[in-house]
Chain A
Amino acid sequence: MSLIRSTFTLLPSRRIRPLQHNPPGDLAIWVFILAELVTFFALFSAYAFARLSHRELFAEMQKTLDAEAGMINTLLLITGSWCVAQAVAAIERHRNRQSGHWLLAAIVAGAAFLVVKYVEYAAKFAQGIDLSTNLFYAFYFSLTAFHAMHVLLGMAILCFVWRKAMQGGYSAADHRGMETAASYWHMVDLVWIVLFPLVYLMR
């Protein structure tokens, strides 16, 4: 009975928790995120419609891609995003050093993503395949390299935030900078969630 009473006492307080006006982090990063998302929307649309008039070429070329590498990179980015979310959760609980460790794990995941991407590119270049090989590979290299640059930028931001976190620069009351970096990193993950099936799987 007491369990039921305590449950009903808890539920309303969860429901009436007010919604925040603005998303986590600095508002400027969200404007930047939106601009990036619009750019990727244009690129994905261009790929999907270009494929309409080159279906056989795209299907054949997609078979030459390393889908395992794409899948591993998806797992790495998802894990990196999870680590960053855990870093924010840790700082909210006053666990500053733990938060730093989660950020470092996210940086490692990002670095591993770039290593896998490098291996993938190196294999293609060794086969004489590059940006000018055909329309599919022009899209493949443009889309994935543009995304990889975002991963690189996200890692640079995370390194800065990690250093500050380890120096005690964030607290449970003030960790806006970390939330800003986290939002950007999640955007990089979100874009790859669409890019992976589009380029590697959907033939």
Chain B
Amino acid sequence: MNRSVLNLVWVALMAATLLTWGVGKTIAMNATFVMGVLVLAGLKGWLIIEEFMALRRVRWFWRGLLLGWLMLTLFVIFFAYGLSLR
């Protein structure tokens, strides 16, 4: 594991969390907000899977399972919220 990469990922995750929280406090709920929050959650999850879990250098089966879980979970949430915003 590369320590510099880990430090960068940590800073990015902390910044994304503060951004999500700050936006959530100030912006009213709408489709763009939901999409933005879920995209940020997706990016954070992707960084955790790839760098912290160190699956970047693992064959696609395991990597795909975890990234697939993340995408499917966020898609289902977006779908349910999309229905409620119609």
Contacts and interface: CB of A to CB of B under 8 A. Distances in A.
Interface of A: 17, 19-24, 30, 34, 37-38, 40-41, 44-45, 48-49, 51-52, 55, 59, 67-68, 70-71, 74-75, 78-79, 81-82, 84-86, 88-89, 92, 182-183, 186-187, 189-190, 193-194, 196-198, 200-203
Please report whether the interface of chain B is mostly helix, strand, loop or mixed according to DSSP.
helix
A189 to B, nearest CB: 6
A86 B45 CA distance: 18
User: Is the interface on chain B under 10, 10 to 19, 20 to 34, or 35 or more residues?
Assistant: 35 or more
Across the A-B interface, the 4 shortest Cβ-Cβ residue pairs:
A48-B80, A201-B24, A89-B1, A82-B10
A30 B65 CA distance: 10
Q: Per DSSP, are chain A's interface residues mostly helix, strand or loop, or mixed?
A: helix
B45 A194 contact: yes
A41 B57 contact: no
A197 B74 CA distance: 11
B74 A194 contact: yes
Interface in B23-73: 24-25, 29, 33-34, 37-38, 40-41, 44-45, 48-49, 51-55, 57-59, 62-63, 65-66, 69-70, 72-73
